[in-house]
Amino acid sequence: MRHAALFDFDNTLIDGDSQGLEVEYFRRRREISLGRLAYIALVYLLYKIKTAPKAALVRSCIGAYRGWEKQGLIEHGNHFFREVTSHRFFPEVIDRMREHKNRGDLVAVLSASPAHLVGPAAKFLGVDLLIATEIEEDSDGRLTGRTRGPVNIGSVKAAAAGALLEEHGIDPARCTAYSDDQADLEFLLMAGAAVAVNPTRKLARIAEVHGWEVIHPFSNGRRLD
């Protein structure tokens, strides 16, 4: 019977949050307005002090793409991967992903971050499936700066994972889920096995209660072969 391995992206496959890295990338290149930068910083602060959910932070960053053309976003995502994300993989976690692939497991990445940030990495890694937050387009094909559907986090991510496994006829008991944050608790609980990757303090405590494996990988700053 086939197994599955489901991976979160930010701080699980890569060192850092891809949207946060992108905001810094925009700031260095002066490709983001001071108003938008200040708004994202405010939402980030509220998120850190637990008064705003992660989904609000995701939406605040997505607002920066308002008016972009879809092709421009795709090209930006590819360039961002080459310049930033490709140097931030955790080799230990990527090795585990490759082991799953070599065993014939279904391998998927599920992320709250937008698809243009995660897609190039997923393609590079050769994963079977990607589920990420999508950005809405208007009737002229330009981005509205809003999400198309909910942010792929929490119960949304858990439901997407469950639907994915059902579609491929895989029992959740034969699934291993990887994540770093308690926001993915439902996602981790739906799997037969869970691995906490550089977990937050809260997730580390939860992992101890459930007897989950905990790993502490690091990035060497080099591109993978």
pLDDT, tens digit (0-9, with 9 covering 90-100), for 163-176: 999 999 999 999 99
d(CA 218, CA 216): 7
The predicted pLDDT at position 9 comes to 98
Each of the 225 residues of the chain gets a pLDDT tens digit; together they read: 899 999 999 999 999 999 888 888 888 888 778 888 788 877 777 777 677 788 888 898 888 889 999 999 999 999 999 999 999 999 999 999 999 999 999 999 999 999 999 999 999 999 999 999 999 999 988 999 999 999 999 999 999 999 999 999 999 999 999 999 999 999 999 999 999 999 999 999 999 999 999 999 999 877 776
Q: For residue 194, which of 167, 175, 216, 209 has the smallest C-alpha distance?
A: 175
Reading the block at residue 175, the tokens are 């699934």
Per-residue pLDDT at 225: 64
Q: For 4-215, CATH number?
A: 3.40.50.1000
If you average pLDDT over every residue of the chain, what do you get? 93
Nearest to residue 6, comparing CAs of 150, 183, 193, 203? 193
Cα–Cα distance, 187 to 29 (Å, whole number):
36
Residues 162/190, Cβ–Cβ less than 8 Å: yes
- Give the gyration radius of the chain's Cα atoms: 17
How many helices and strands, by DSSP H and E, does the chain display? 9, 8
> Contact at 8 Å (CB) between 151 and 133?
yes
> Using one digit for the tens of pLDDT, what is the confidence trace for 37-73?
788 877 777 777 677 788 888 898 888 889 999 999 9
- pLDDT at site 33: 81
Question: Do residues 107 and 5 lie in contact, with contact meaning Cβ atoms separated by under 8 Å?
Answer: yes
For position 8, what pLDDT does the model report? Answer: 98
